[in-house]
Structure 1
Amino acid sequence: MNANELMGLNVVDSEHGTTVGTIKGLLIDQQEKRVSALEVSERFLSRSRFVPFESIKSIEHDVLMIPSAQNLVARQDLGSTGLITHLTGRHVFTEDGKDLGTVRSYVVDSKTGDITSITFAVDKTAFHGLWKSAGDSYDLPSRFIITLGEHVIVDKSVPDIIRMRHAA
């Protein structure tokens, strides 16, 4: 499932059959390369809480089911290290320093939370760097991702793989 498709889903407590909020954001474990929790906005101006990915019963096109509202936890209960709130917009570099572009989207396994692929766009500049746009986009399986951090670092073979796909 594309990570963007998770945003705005209703979160339903299956024990009571009530909507407890909507998905507002994701917390990504950098080491595990997976979504570890989803941020749930309960009401306007209320504090967000989080549902750990392992507490999710199911994810469908318009609803995310949890066993109970008791599964919602505070942010501090999830730990503070190694969690990032987004991948979209982060630069993609090869391990030898080649700038490949910017993450545009990513796919999450709806059963495990694993990030299975990222889509990045090659940045193109025009007018002597005054204007930047997204060029060609490429889907990259997660096995090529080395590091998720301030930047996404991928295997140095990725530019060759892209050239082979583009030539085919």
Structure 2
Amino acid sequence: MPATTADRLKALLRWERGSTLRVAAVLGVSQRTVQRWITRKPGGRGRPSPRHDQKIAELVQARWQPRIRARRRAAAEKGGVVVHTRARFGFKAGPASSDDPRMRRITGRLNPTVTQQIFAALDAGASEKQHELIIGRALGHLYFRDAGRRAHGLHVTLLDIDFIEFGLQ
């Protein structure tokens, strides 16, 4: 994705076949304003406002290399993703266990079914809490229950996420 606002504007112009009028309509400004942003004469209003800058970035992000994104998503849904996180995990278990939530750093591979659930929730506009529930359940199965080999009655909750990173295998 282009790094500067000027490069993002050039990308928008390229996608709209050089029409400043169409770019202006998409951004909700006048054609003359877009022309000023492109020419950037000294002493003029050559820069978009922070609000327009953010809108330009969002538009470019939405249209930037959609086939590459689709291929990455298909690969993730087919082969799963690797998740690396540091978060506070709590759990409910039998009477002899400590259920105090603790910060843990966990890296593991989520299976394709969980990855598809995450994307389905993302497409449906699910809240962050619902994503945490899906990821917490998957990491609990992977890490605490050892992929179903132990601790069958354990209910894991993901409480505070310090950071989370996803990657393809």
Task: Give the alignment's TM-score, normalised by structure 2.
Answer: 0.27
Structure whose CA Rg is larger: 2
Task: Give the alignment's TM-score, normalised by structure 1.
Answer: 0.27
Q: Which protein has the bigger helix share? A: 2
